[in-house]
Amino acid sequence: MINEEYSFKDFTNKDLSSTLLTGTIKGSNFHSDGIDLLFCHIDSDANFVNCNIDNRMLPAKCTQEGCTNKFMEVQNDLEPWIIVDGSPTEPFRKSEYIRLGISIDPLDIPSTEIEKSIIVTTEKGLE
């Protein structure tokens, strides 16, 4: 059964930690700017279909089909990187890095935070 209350809506950065989600939830955006350890009630058993659940951890009984569920965090280059096992693996805007000739190697992330996004800085330098 489609959960009409939570389907095809934008819940970006919304705190649903006390909300019990059930049924099938389609086409909604649950993205969080920061990584949420659990974004809905622990007993939720919803089936998420074609949803954006980036930076959100699902309870054990929840399932997902055709969703994006990447974990991303802004690094010292002021750009979001995909996180696996707690470490950056590749820039979220990888194609932009390649287009601009910026290294996609996590070892090349600056050791201290830079003043402006590496993409913005590089684009301005190419003008």
63-119: pLDDT as tens digits = 999 999 999 999 999 999 999 888 999 999 999 999 999 999 999 999 999 999 999
Structure tokens at 100: 């601009």
Q: How many CA atoms lie within 13 A of 120 on its CB side?
A: 7
Across 43-49, average pLDDT: 97
Stretch 20-49: mean pLDDT: 92
Cβ–Cβ under 8 Å, residues 28 and 7: yes
Predicted local confidence at residue 108, as pLDDT: 98
The residue extents of the domains of the chain are 1-69, 72-126
What pLDDT does residue 127 have? 63
Tokens of 106: 């996590």
For the purposes of burial, counting CB atoms within 10 Å of the CB of 19, is it exposed (0-12), middle (13-18) or buried (19 or more)?
A: middle
- Distance, CA of 51 to CA of 71 (rounded, Å): 14
Tell whether the model's pLDDT for residue 57 goes beyond 70: yes
> Residue 21 pLDDT > 90, yes or no?
yes
